[in-house]
Chain A
Amino acid sequence: MKLLKYVLSLFFIAMIGCETNEDIVDFPLHKSRLVINCSFSETKFWTVHISKSLSVIDNAPLSAVEDAVVKIFEDGVLLTKPTYFVDGFYISFTDTPIIGKKYSITVSAPGFESVFASDSLPVAVPISSISMVVTDSAFYTGHLGEIVGYLNAEASIVFDDPANQENAYVIAAFRVDTIYSFDSTSWNLMNRPLFLESTDLNVETRYGETIILSDELINGQTYEVTFTFQDSFEGVNKPKAIHYIFILRSLSPQYYLYERTYGLFSTRIPDPFSEPVQVYNNIENGFGIFGGYSESSDTIMIQ
């Protein structure tokens, strides 16, 4: 019995000893660098967001850089110098990118090392055809007399992937409607995004509401991507006609890598066992993305 008591005493000593212990570890402080966020397309004026990075152990919030000098070059020739607009955005309201040209950007700001990046616009890939089948739908009257409903659909987009061009695609879809979204300053009217899902083996994954696929295995082919979505309704009346917009965006390889990895980073499950995600970065001496894309769209109406 004495032995048992002794063993038990030691057991508790051992258990107390097994409590975890935490120490602060010296971690090298990262020197702040400039961050460029710029996705460009022939349908948009040059818009560049400039901010600064922080060490991962810096308590300060992320912030924009307002005194940067931004220069955009087209095929090596200075094209424009976007000027500061608001919230870290630098905009040039006179120029838009052109397919076939190579664009580069340099950004400098006091206290920071200058940064550089370059990319091109991929050729726009038109949607050859589009089809959509409503697989299921229902509408009923809610408790307050409102009309509530849903619609399940399967859609497909056909396009001709250009041969000899390395690119990737993002597909997005919207219901043409008016919903109100709040962006911290005002209420805006916007289309309703649809969450797309696909079992196509070439579709790598979906991040947020879009799906993304590389042309690695379909290069130069006519390709049909099939996907499904569910739409939901809530309103005073049952809609008489519904318009859907489908967008096919062709991304440059650099922009594709960024979209894929940033999407993965944003949607990862933050559990202690999940693998870290490295987000692609094509800014020399800095961080962010300078990537080009082209897009085409088509609309379908159902009644």
Chain B
Amino acid sequence: MINMNVQLLLVFTLFILSASAQKYTISGYVVDRNTGEKLIGTAIFEKNAGQGTTSNTYGFYSLTLPEDSVNIIFHFVGYSAVLKRFHLHKDIVLNIEMEPSLDLTEVEINVDDYERIEQQSTMSTIKIPVEQIKALPALLGEVDVLKALQLLPGVQSGVEGTSGFYVRGGGPDQNLILLDGTPVYNANHLFGFFSVFNADAINSVELIKGGFPARYGGRLSSVIDINLKEGNMKKYQGSGSIGIVASKLTLEGPIIKDKSSFIVSARRTYIDVLLQPFIRYALNQGSGTKAGYYFYDLNAKINYKFSDKDRLYLSLYTGDDKFYFRLRQNPYLYDGVLYENKLEQEMGWGNVTSALRWNHKINKKLFSNTGITYSRYNFSVSDYREEVVTDTAMTRNIFSLKYLSGIEDWAGKVDFDYVPNPKHYLKFGIHGIYHTFRPGASTLIIQNPGITDIDSTSGAEDVYATEYSTYIEDDIKFTKRLKGNLGVHYSGFYVNSKLYQSLQPRIALRYLIGKSWAIKASYSTMEQYIHLLTNTSIGLPTDLWVPSTENIKPQSAQQVALGIAKTFKKNIQLSIEGYYKNMDNILEYSDGATFLNNNEEWDTKVEVGKGWSYGGEFFLQKKTGNTTGWIGYTLSWTNRQFDNINFGKIYPYKYDRRHDISVVFSHLINDRWAIAGTWVYGTGNAITLPIATYTGFANDTYYGLYGAVEYYENKNDYRMASYHRMDFSAKYKFLLFKQLDSEMIMGVYNLYNRKNPLYYYFGYDAFDNKALKRVSLFPFIPSLSLNFKF
């Protein structure tokens, strides 16, 4: 009994000592030594206490530990690990500069490394290093972030070659694409064949498919969080590339060394310039004719570091696509009267996003980010005709028609990171967005001396809406084995005197089994107040963002996921997850509806229904070393049900893809040569085809017409041929003009020339027999691009 009491006394004493032990906080920023660029998601781990954290979106970290000798390791993929040993006896600021590890050799990671997948409480989250994205083979040599994401399990691509993607059975509008925290509404150039993101200007890319942390909201299926680079704080540098389709140039450098920097990155296609003579020839027009297509995008960012506590960022993205046709006829005389004609037709679309953010380190444990953001997407078609008639006097006849649709957001937000101790990492904040929806309006101007001038606007009126949200989440370490990310997201949407509100709990748990296995589970509910009207699978600029209305309620989803995670030797990470997601109030175009019919209000040609998706995902990834890459496999089922589609019966979603496989690798052969390859396989898309025709009967009170009816057994019950393709690229490094670090990238898209289906239609064969025809777009396509740095 005495022995027992002594033991209890000892335990109590230890507890008191432990509780009373003084704790201090180590905080600071982690940046790249050469450029000063922040390193987002750096793993920071103190070995003695077994505690760790990660740097946030701004490179900031905070770790509170008891007074003792500390042994902290900082690790970031592609960088040499940094180890710091010292005695912690007061709060300290420890800013870390990390050196890029040029050869990318494996860093032997401590088993307790905080970055390891099994250590993280979040699940269904994948980060791909930008350098790895750049190493992948690309269509026509254009590196594309969104197409790289399509190679991940749980993410399905849409039409071949386009950057549209569908996450865990969700629609294309259910992906929240954030560029420096600002939503991008149309991430496509050239109908989706290229995305708007210029990889040269990107710092980090993260995809979240489920188990959403409470800080995110507004979309049902995924978050793609893209952060732009900030610009080199140390020295001026530039990089560029010349490709088949477009060229890019990036400049960055310090405005004030170690205090302020800038980065400007621009890209433009030159098809229109190169092909102008051919276009004129094809159109059989003279030199007064210009026609073509181009897109450009520009990323710019400046930041200013007032002190270790305050930093200001201003970032801008702008990009446009434009098709144009301009005709200026030579003046001609007819019956003594001089005529001059001008015609200008254009179709254009583009995004502008801008963010002004202020980072403030309130104290060693509390960090804030306050921002104002602006985002706009516009689509316009214009037709301008002018005729100048000179007789005794000059008269000018003008006809101008312009159609405009789009969406515009002004938003403000305040986010806080609070790290009270290593067991808690709190994030909380408040966001507000003021939306202006332009569902489509036409302006007609006619000026003709013979008639009364017309200047009128018709079409749908602008709709204004306010969306707001607040959240709190805590990354909690309950025990050494059990960790969780618990949070709640509350949001509201006010439109046309109608208020929608939603409280969304978010839970993600991780339980360690042994040293390197973890079981993970998550539950999340999501609410989405805006909808995208689209009945094409490609990113057409005519896709229309519309708000929830009194008749069209917000979309909502619930998702549960369960999985295991493990890191093997050589930092090979494995994750296997199963998920189930249901979605309510999702939209589909009604039977027979088409976006080309602008005579009807948008909400009269849509149906509201439900969707389900469930399946499993396997992901084996290697991020470091000379050989990197991943293998992804998804087995999934995705269905839809609408009362007025398919007679209310459940049918497969068009991107219901039973099997989806991707194999991605890149290998550094030596200092000069590197190779990369991808192979993808996917079950064919589900489409609706008629199987028979028969005589129909309209017992019309007048005509009693008979016409052929096409019989569709069920919606989406025909499978296109499976999709598979292999791409390959080789990169050769050399000195251009004996001084520029350069890379020549030779790539092949669709190496074995697979004729993958783009779409099917009924036509005729060579003998005039009716037949089903498959159209494929991209055969074997070589590409060549040149990258250089200075």
Kindly list chain B residues whose C-beta atoms are within 8 Å of the C-beta of A273.
535-536, 594-596
- Chain B: CB-nearest residue to A27: B772
Given contacts A24-B772, A264-B592, A172 and B701 within 8 Å (CB-CB): yes
CA distance A56 to B258 in the complex (A): 71
Given contacts A53-B711, A56-B762, A261-B591, A17 and B775 within 8 Å (CB-CB): no
B769 close to A (CB within 8 Å)? yes
A289 touches B646 (CB 8 A): no
Kindly list chain B residues whose C-beta atoms are within 8 Å of the C-beta of A27.
689, 771-772
CB distance from A48 to the nearest CB of B (A): 10
Kindly list chain A residues whose C-beta atoms are within 8 Å of the C-beta of B692.
30, 33, 53-56, 287
Within 8 A of A (CB), among B302-358: none
A151 close to B (CB within 8 Å)? no
Kindly list chain B residues whose C-beta atoms are within 8 Å of the C-beta of A241.
none
- Residue in A8, A257, A268, A277 whose CB lies within 8 Å of B274: A8
B589 close to A (CB within 8 Å)? yes
- Residue in A14, A58, A289 whose CB lies within 8 Å of B697: A289
Kindly list chain B residues whose C-beta atoms are within 8 Å of the C-beta of A25.
721, 760, 771-774
Within 8 A of A (CB), among B671-701: 688-701
CA distance A37 to B588 in the complex (A): 31
A7 touches B771 (CB 8 A): no
CA distance A264 to B140 in the complex (A): 42
Given contacts A7-B784, A35-B695, A277-B592, A22 and B775 within 8 Å (CB-CB): yes
A23 close to B (CB within 8 Å)? yes
Stretch at the interface among B174-182, B475-483, B702-710: B702-710
Kindly list chain A residues whose C-beta atoms are within 8 Å of the C-beta of B646.
278
Within 8 A of B (CB), among A123-160: none
B597 close to A (CB within 8 Å)? yes
A73 close to B (CB within 8 Å)? no
CA distance A279 to B646 in the complex (A): 10
A268 touches B690 (CB 8 A): no
Within 8 A of B (CB), among A42-78: 49, 51-59, 62, 64
CA distance A12 to B769 in the complex (A): 35
Kindly list chain A residues whose C-beta atoms are within 8 Å of the C-beta of B49.
none
- Residue in B588, B688, B783 whose CB lies within 8 Å of A276: B688
B738 close to A (CB within 8 Å)? no
A247 touches B711 (CB 8 A): no
A217 close to B (CB within 8 Å)? no
- Chain A: CB-nearest residue to B761: A272
CA distance A262 to B589 in the complex (A): 18
Interface string of B511-549 (1 = CB under 8 A from A): 000000000000000000000000110000000000000
A269 touches B140 (CB 8 A): no
CA distance A33 to B349 in the complex (A): 50
B697 touches A288 (CB 8 A): yes
Kindly list chain B residues whose C-beta atoms are within 8 Å of the C-beta of A264.
591-592
CA distance A263 to B761 in the complex (A): 23
Kindly list chain A residues whose C-beta atoms are within 8 Å of the C-beta of B647.
257, 278, 280
Kindly list chain A residues whose C-beta atoms are within 8 Å of the C-beta of B591.
261, 264, 275-278
Kindly list chain B residues whose C-beta atoms are within 8 Å of the C-beta of A274.
535, 592-594, 596
A287 touches B707 (CB 8 A): no
CB distance from A218 to the nearest CB of B (A): 18
A275 touches B696 (CB 8 A): no
User: Size range of the interface on B?
Assistant: 35 or more
Within 8 A of A (CB), among B589-609: 589-597
Kindly list chain B residues whose C-beta atoms are within 8 Å of the C-beta of A54.
692-694
Given contacts A56-B691, A266-B707, A174 and B594 within 8 Å (CB-CB): no
A174 touches B702 (CB 8 A): yes
CA distance A18 to B190 in the complex (A): 14
B781 touches A265 (CB 8 A): no
B784 touches A10 (CB 8 A): yes
CA distance A53 to B692 in the complex (A): 6
- Chain A: CB-nearest residue to B596: A271
CA distance A261 to B711 in the complex (A): 12
B286 close to A (CB within 8 Å)? no
- Chain B: CB-nearest residue to A268: B592
A110 close to B (CB within 8 Å)? no
B242 close to A (CB within 8 Å)? yes
B592 touches A249 (CB 8 A): no
B758 touches A20 (CB 8 A): yes
B101 close to A (CB within 8 Å)? no
Kindly list chain A residues whose C-beta atoms are within 8 Å of the C-beta of B593.
274-275
Interface string of A235-274 (1 = CB under 8 A from B): 0000000000001010000000101011111111101111
Kindly list chain A residues whose C-beta atoms are within 8 Å of the C-beta of B765.
24
Given contacts A30-B692, A287-B694, A262 and B594 within 8 Å (CB-CB): no
Given contacts A7-B242, A21-B755, A21-B776, A62 and B594 within 8 Å (CB-CB): no
Kindly list chain A residues whose C-beta atoms are within 8 Å of the C-beta of B292.
none
CA distance A209 to B701 in the complex (A): 9
CB distance from A118 to the nearest CB of B (A): 17
- Residue in B696, B769, B773, B783 whose CB lies within 8 Å of A22: B773
CA distance A17 to B748 in the complex (A): 12
Number of interface residues of A (CB under 8 A): 74
- Chain B: CB-nearest residue to A88: B695
- Chain A: CB-nearest residue to B247: A7
B446 close to A (CB within 8 Å)? no
A210 touches B778 (CB 8 A): no
A220 close to B (CB within 8 Å)? no
Kindly list chain A residues whose C-beta atoms are within 8 Å of the C-beta of B694.
33, 35, 51-54, 62, 287-288
A57 touches B771 (CB 8 A): yes
Kindly list chain A residues whose C-beta atoms are within 8 Å of the C-beta of B693.
53-56, 58, 62
- Chain B: CB-nearest residue to A264: B592
CB distance from A80 to the nearest CB of B (A): 20
B148 close to A (CB within 8 Å)? no
Kindly list chain A residues whose C-beta atoms are within 8 Å of the C-beta of B696.
37, 262, 265-266, 279
B715 close to A (CB within 8 Å)? yes
Interface string of B751-772 (1 = CB under 8 A from A): 0000100101111010011111
A56 touches B690 (CB 8 A): yes
B702 touches A263 (CB 8 A): no
A28 close to B (CB within 8 Å)? yes
Kindly list chain A residues whose C-beta atoms are within 8 Å of the C-beta of B420.
none
Given contacts A11-B244, A275-B593, A281 and B711 within 8 Å (CB-CB): yes
B24 close to A (CB within 8 Å)? no
Kindly list chain B residues whose C-beta atoms are within 8 Å of the C-beta of A37.
695-697, 706
A3 close to B (CB within 8 Å)? yes
CB distance from A50 to the nearest CB of B (A): 9
B770 touches A271 (CB 8 A): no
A10 touches B783 (CB 8 A): yes
Given contacts A37-B696, A276-B712, A265 and B592 within 8 Å (CB-CB): yes
A57 touches B777 (CB 8 A): no
Kindly list chain B residues whose C-beta atoms are within 8 Å of the C-beta of A33.
692, 694
A300 close to B (CB within 8 Å)? no
Given contacts A6-B784, A17-B780, A279-B709, A51 and B775 within 8 Å (CB-CB): no
B288 close to A (CB within 8 Å)? no
A193 touches B702 (CB 8 A): yes
A3 touches B715 (CB 8 A): no
B709 touches A24 (CB 8 A): no
CA distance A58 to B711 in the complex (A): 14
- Chain B: CB-nearest residue to A171: B701
- Residue in A262, A269, A279 whose CB lies within 8 Å of B596: A269
A18 touches B697 (CB 8 A): no
The 6 A-B residue pairs whose C-beta atoms are closest, nearest first, are A37-B697, A274-B594, A268-B592, A53-B694, A39-B699, A27-B772
5 intermolecular pairs with C-beta atoms under 8 Å apart:
A35-B694, A53-B693, A56-B690, A58-B770, A275-B592
Footprint of B on A, CB under 8 Å? 3, 6-8, 10-11, 13-14, 17-18, 20-28, 30, 33, 35, 37, 39, 49, 51-59, 62, 64, 88, 170, 172, 174, 190-191, 193, 208-210, 247, 249, 257, 259, 261-269, 271-281, 287-289, 293
Given A18-B777, A57-B770, 16 new contacts (CB under 8 A)? A3-B242, A6-B784, A17-B779, A21-B776, A21-B777, A22-B773, A33-B692, A51-B695, A55-B692, A172-B701, A193-B702, A273-B595, A274-B535, A274-B596, A277-B592, A288-B695
